[in-house]
Amino acid sequence: MYSKKKNRWLKHLDFILLDILSICVALFLAYAIRHGLRSHYGSEEYFRIGMVMIFADLVVVFFGDSYKDVIRRGYLTEFRAAFTHLSLVMCGLFVYLFFVQQSEFFSRLTIFWTWVLGFVLMYFSRIALKTWLRRRMMQKKKLVSVLAVVSRDTAEPILRELLNRKYRDFDIVGIILVGQGKRQEHNQTQELQPEQRLSKQQRPEGLQAVKQGQADKITEICGVPVVATGDDFAVYIRDHVVDEIFVSVNEDFETTEAIMEACVSMGITVHQNLTGVSKGGNQVVDEFAGYMVLTSSIKVAAYRDLLLKRCMDIAGGLIGLFLTALMFPFIAVAIRIKSPGPVFFCQERVGKNGRIIKIYKFRSMYVDAEERKEELLRQNEMQGLMFKMKEDPRVVPGVGVFIRKTSLDEFPQFWNVLKGDMSLVGTRPPTIEEYQHYDMHHMVRMSIKPGLTGLWQVSGRNEITDFEEVVKLDTQYIENWSLRLDIEILLKTIRVILEGRGE
């Protein structure tokens, strides 16, 4: 699923909130300097102008260009931008005071100090936030993992431009090289891993190749490893974290089209450099690293909708953790009595686009459950890549059966939801073993965050025994995703739990 983040006033929500906080603090301090340490919000007039300034700030953000290239702006440029932004806000306040004819109620000194202190707070808070964000980007935390699909002739200039973008929010993890000749010329490239990438200090310039007779075996371009060709890209994507691909080629368009179609079918977002392409289906004209691109995805969602989904996850995570804390003493005692060992069960699962996450549950099985799974595989009631037994002998009698039937064992996963590893609604996170056996069309399940519940869980999961049916339901959920659908699934999940159909 792809989020189109071109609503400037939503894309930079962190800076917007920071500026509003700076304005409010500045007004409070200015009032204190002029009138003493009393809350200016105790005065109806000052409360009103505080609201007017916040509204004026949002108007400036919405109609202006206050945050263009905000991460890359230098100190002097930011100085001018902050001064201009706050000056426009103050002009909005003056216009309001002129029309309501109430300027005599307000101290000119208070207004002056609000302007001065607001500018100082706004400037330095922006610098502090940018410094923190830049550090995270340089440390490659929360960056989007991107594969570049390029042809040999266009590769070097494109990679240079992508890599030279300072403080980018994406990381080029590898290159799929198309139109380079026979597959056997690339045997060495298939052994390269993203962690083998050279540092900037080590990077040689341009195309790096190993000569063997007349054939050039390209292993990296501008320090980025060539990880696949048009023949074997699916294997690399399955085994590595890939969020998006950027496509810019001038040859072998048939292979390129096959790569793009396959990636979209796997739920990976595709950005195609806009040269002789037309817009259709789930596609939007967008910007990527300075290029105008045609972005294709299995689902293009509005950024504000995904922001609301995340807010809903945070609220649900907090409520869920509160309920988990209330039930913890009772469940913990019952588990320890029936089966000595840890109260919580921690397991590595596969999250969005192949990221490894750790999920947490109340332990409902004996401590040796994982070791005993091998001997029970023949009794698996699911067709395909999931394991499920109705009368699983590994489940602790009594408490284990109860918390699984009521889904109480899942409650610690609200911590995963709060952290952002999971969502309230999504797809079931597979085990690493299951994921390693996925075919290409199964990968679409991994294009969104895994969830505590999902369409499969509320569609009679006890009756569904075919993994392909699970994939079909998950694909249906992703293609038709909306906040309304999430709310409907959550309400149905509550009903399923109350009816005792949790397992």
Q: From CA 284, how far away is CA 303, in angstroms rounded?
A: 13
Q: Which residue has the higher pLDDT, 421 or 280?
A: 421
Yes or no: say if 24 and 40 are a contact pair by the CB < 8 Å rule: no
Alpha-carbon distance of 149 to 128, in angstroms, equals 36
Does position 226 have pLDDT exceeding 50, yes or no? yes
- CA pair distance 64, 382, nearest whole angstrom: 56
How far, in Å, CA of 473 to CA of 459, rounded?
9
Average pLDDT of the chain, as a whole number = 79
Q: How far apart are CA 403 and CA 401, in angstroms?
A: 6
Least confident stretch, 87-101, 339-353, 382-396: 382-396
Query: Of the segments 149-153, 186-190, 418-422, which one has the largest average pLDDT value?
Result: 418-422
Q: What is the pLDDT of residue 210?
A: 41
* Higher per-residue confidence, 196 vs 236: 236
8 Å CB contact between 345 and 410: no
pLDDT at 502 > cutoff 60 = no
At 258, the pLDDT band (50, 70, 90 cuts) reads confident
Predicted confidence at residue 426, as pLDDT, reads: 92
Query: Which runs of E-coded beta strand occur in 58-206?
Result: 144-151, 170-178
The answer to which of 70-79, 217-226, 414-423, 487-496 has the lowest mean pLDDT is: 217-226
pLDDT digits (tens, 9 = 90+) for 14-31: 888 999 999 999 888 888
pTM beyond 0.85, yes or no? no
- pLDDT at residue 414, as a whole number: 95
Say whether pLDDT at 318 is over 90: yes
Query: Is the predicted pLDDT of residue 8 greater than 70, yes or no?
Result: no
383 pLDDT higher than 80 = no
- Higher-confidence position of 440 and 204: 440
How many CA atoms lie less than 13 Å away from 252 in the CB half-sphere? 24
- pLDDT at position 105, please? 62
Q: What is the Cα–Cα distance from 441 to 1, expressed in whole angstroms?
A: 15
- Average pLDDT in the 391-420 region? 88
pLDDT, residue 245, reads 87
What pLDDT score does 203 carry?
37
Q: Which residue(s) pair with 119 in the sheet? A: none
Mean pLDDT of 165-191: 62
Helix (H) or strand (E) holding 423: strand 423-425
298-323 mean pLDDT: 88
Question: Using one digit for the tens of pLDDT, what is the confidence trace for 37-67?
Answer: 655 445 677 788 888 889 988 888 877 777 8
- At 382 the pLDDT is 66
* pLDDT of residue 390 exceeding 80: no
Statement: residue 321 has pLDDT above 90: yes
Compute the residue count for the chain. 503
**Residue 474 neighbours by CB under 8 Å, 6+ apart:** 427, 428, 444, 445, 454, 455, 456
pLDDT of residue 266: 83
| Most confident segment among 300-304, 325-329, 392-396 | 325-329
For 159-200, where are the E strands, in sequence order?
Answer: 170-178
pLDDT value of residue 222: 83
Cα(432)–Cα(357) distance, integer angstroms: 10
pLDDT the model gives residue 21: 93
Q: What whole-number distance in Å separates Cα of residue 348 and Cα of residue 326?
A: 26
- Are β-strands 423-425 and 269-273 bridged in parallel, bridged antiparallel, or unpaired? unpaired
| % of the chain surpassing 90 pLDDT | 16
- pLDDT score, position 185: 40
Give pLDDT, residue 436. 84
> Which pLDDT band, with edges at 50, 70 and 90, does 13 fall under?
confident
Q: What is the reported pLDDT for 195? A: 39
What CA–CA distance (Å, rounded) separates 480 from 470?
15
Chain-centre distance for alpha carbon 253: 30
pLDDT confidence of residue 461: 58
Question: For residue 360, what are its two tokens?
Answer: 């947490």
pLDDT digits (tens, 9 = 90+) for 182-219: 443 433 333 334 333 333 333 334 444 443 333 356 78
Among residues 134, 22, 167, the alpha carbon closest in space to that of 82 is found at 22
Mean pLDDT of 243-263: 82
